Amino acid sequence: MTTFTAPAIANTENNNLRHQLQQIIDLRTKPLGALGRLETLALQLGMIQGTLTPQIDQPQIRVFAADHGLTKHGTSAYPSAVTAQMVYNFLQGGAAINVLARQHNIELKVVDAGVDADFANSPFKDHPQLLDYKVRHGSRDALTEPAMTEAECLAALKNGMKVVENLTGNLLIVGEMGIGNTSAASLLLARLGDVPIADCIGRGTGLDDAGLQHKTDILTQVLQRHSEAQSPLDVLAALGGLEIAMMAGALIQAASERRILLIDGFIASSALLVAERLSPGVAQYAIFAHHSVEPGHAHLLKLLNAEPLLDMGMRLGEGSGAALAYPLLQSACAIINEMASFSDAGISEQNS
């Protein structure tokens, strides 16, 4: 397969900066470690941005939408038509991610990565929140052929990078919408993480027990069908989805520009795993928002050495968990930038 050339990713580790940040946090007017994970979050934000005064500027959400050919085999509780219907819902401001984005003043746009619908002939064709980066009308049926050709996979990765180029702000949330994308994420986790497929699969949009077993049987066959796909790029093309590939490209580009990556749940984490395997170092820029109840997410978090901020029993996607966690990042920046030190406040420090 053609090699994917990724931009350079700077190493965030800097022992001197880490020491200075920790000293600033420790000297704030509180007992050592009293703010718990908010302190480690402040430290992480400073390391990502390479500064003693981390701050968040013009946060962005990009929801990547695409359909999946594999859904024709009944791997989802909902029909593929729901993907386009949900895109219309996003554009009308009615989805959960719209509500949370408005609440926290985060700019939201929807990226058509490969929805099986023609938005150019819809009332929303010129909608300012809809970005057209469509590679094709849905991925192919992975049970019979690779989900994407080599050219389609590379196009999706590069389009994801283009979405981020010249983007305002310094924080990116990648959300997704695509009926069938939990199947693609499960397949990617199974192959790239060497996790048994049965441990990767959840109920997605609400499968019953019979539906869950059917999904497991189909995905087992898909893995066998593409047993030769082993390199990250080959795996992504054979087993992934257009929106996941585009999300991976967006994450790679964002990390190369030293942006904060606020990672949502199962699908977004699978995209990060792909991005990290294609361009090692991307995960240094990631902050994990929440622990999804999708079974595969726990395995992804372990693979990525991640400790999420929240555990709210969520499994919606769209970037909703990341938007919910966003205020914690604002608070972490505030404590390091605005909280008084012991000397500032004239308060005696803890005895050593």
Catalytic residues: 318
| Among the listed residues 64, 170, 75, 154, the one whose alpha carbon sits nearest the alpha carbon of residue 111 | 64
282, HSE (Cβ side, Cα atoms, 13 Å): 27
What are the two backbone dihedrals, phi and then psi, of residue 48, each rounded to the nearest 5 degrees?
-60, -45
| Residue type at position 56 | I
**What is the Cα–Cα distance from 172 to 107, expressed in whole angstroms?**
10
**What is the Cα–Cα distance from 352 to 342, expressed in whole angstroms?**
14
User: What would the 3-class secondary structure string for 150-174 be?
Assistant: HHHHHHHHHHHHHHHCCCCCCEEEE
**What is the Cα–Cα distance from 236 to 212, expressed in whole angstroms?**
23
**What is the Cα–Cα distance from 305 to 293, expressed in whole angstroms?**
18
Strand partners, 290: 310
Contact between residue 110 and residue 130 where contact means Cβ atoms under 8 Å apart:
yes
**What is the Cα–Cα distance from 329 to 193, expressed in whole angstroms?**
29
